[in-house]
Structure 1
Amino acid sequence: MAIQKILLAVGPNDKDRVDELAETVTDIAGPTGAEVIVAHVFTEDEYENVVDRLEFTSVAEANPDEVADRHTTVRELEKVFDGADIDVSIRGSVGNHGEQIVDLAEETDADLVVVGGRKRSPTGKAVFGSVAQEVMLNAPCPVTFVRGGE
């Protein structure tokens, strides 16, 4: 199956993994010409804080896609993909991270989901982070887990 759409899910802890995430997705999307959808999922509290910090008029006036598009991590990734001549779009969502990523994968007809995570202790390696694990178990397509270089 050819990969035509990649959903790259990023969150508040991915700013330290931007290079690894960008490299992984570029390696996959570049040769195949796949479209990349960068999705930032916010919890309700994260969303309210970001909307306030970005000086939107109010939470009600803010659009999750627009809020995501103005997020630093998303902008860095967008710049990398634009530079690599990869079609990129931005999606934002508010709610439980894992559930929203799975929902976005379904809504966008993603052929692959890419999520990041951190290095774990030997016992922690048996279980990925709860978000990554939830996505891996419930996504409608294959999932690639990218561990950051920290």
Structure 2
Amino acid sequence: MTLQNILVAVGPKDSERADELAEAVLEVAQPAAATVHLTHVFTPGEFEEATDRLNFESSTTADPDAVAQRHETIRALIGALEDAGIEYAVHGRVGDHAEKIVELAGELDADRVVVGGRKRSPSGKAVFGSIAQDVMLESPCPVTFVKGA
């Protein structure tokens, strides 16, 4: 299987594991010369908060791609990809996290999705759900899970 498009889904707590995400992505993207699609999905509330924090004029006119590009983890990953000479694109979406990640993977004809996550108790998963788990179950392609602390 040739890898041409790798989607990396970045969440609000992934800044703690940016190095691990970069390492996992570079491990598969470099040998394949794949394009990496850095993605951040915001809930409507998160998007409004981010546009306020980042001094965009309005959350109704702000471009989700531009807001995502200013995310701390996305910027760290861009640096790693540029240092390695890997082509990339940044995508921002607003909506349900897992749903939008899976939807974008299909739109991009992604060959791999990379998601971060952390260990959770069974009751924690039942109460709070798991974006990574939903992506793994619904993704149109293989998913690489990068475990955090």
- 4+ runs deviating over 4 angstroms: none
Aligned twin of 1:140: 140
1:37 offset after TM fit, Å?
0.3
> Normalized against structure 2, the TM-score is what?
0.93
Aligned twin of 1:69: 69
Aligned twin of 2:10: 10
* Percent identical: 55
Q: CA RMSD in A?
A: 1.7
SS of 1:101's equivalent in the other structure is helix
- Matched AA of 2:65: D
Aligned counterparts, 1:1-150, within 5 A: 1-121=1-121, 123=122, 130-148=130-148, 150=149
1:70 offset after TM fit, Å?
1.0
Query: Residues 4-46 of structure 1: CA distance to partner in whole angstroms, max 9, x if unpaired?
Result: 1100000111111101100000010011101000000111111
SS of 1:120's equivalent in the other structure is coil
- Matched AA of 1:14: D
> Normalized against structure 1, the TM-score is what?
0.93
Query: Residues 101-141 of structure 1: CA distance to partner in whole angstroms, max 9, x if unpaired?
Result: 001101111000000001335x57x98x6101110111110
SS of 1:15's equivalent in the other structure is helix
Question: Equivalents in 1 of 2:60, 2:97: separation in Å?
Answer: 20
- Matched AA of 1:99: E
- Matched AA of 1:8: V
Question: Equivalents in 2 of 1:16, 1:7: separation in Å?
Answer: 19
- Matched AA of 2:74: V
Question: Equivalents in 2 of 1:45, 1:9: separation in Å?
Answer: 18
The aligned length equals 147
Query: Residues 37-96 of structure 1: CA distance to partner in whole angstroms, max 9, x if unpaired?
Result: 000011111100000001011012200001001111101100100001100110000111
